[in-house]
Structure 1
Amino acid sequence: MYPQNTPRVPAQRAVEVHQPTPITPAVPVPAPVVPVQPATAPTVASVVLPDGRIVTGYAVSPVQPEPISAKPVVSRAAVNVALGGVGFLAVCGGLLLLTTFITALTALITQLITLAAVLFGGFIAVQVLTASRHSGGGTTVNIRKAVIKRNHFHR
Structure 2
Amino acid sequence: MHPEPAPHPPAIRAAQVHQPAPFPPAATAPAPLVPLQPDQVPAVASIVLPDGRIVTGYAVHPAQPEPVAMKPAVSRAAVNIALGGIGFAAVCGGLFLLTAFIAALTAFITQLIILAAVIFGGFIAVQVLGASGHRGATTVNIRKAVIKRNHFHG
Greater relative contact order (CA < 8 Å, ≥ 6 in sequence): 2
Question: Shorter-chain TM-score: what band?
Answer: 0.3 to 0.5
TM-score for the superposition, normalised by structure 2: 0.47
TM-score for the superposition, normalised by structure 1: 0.47
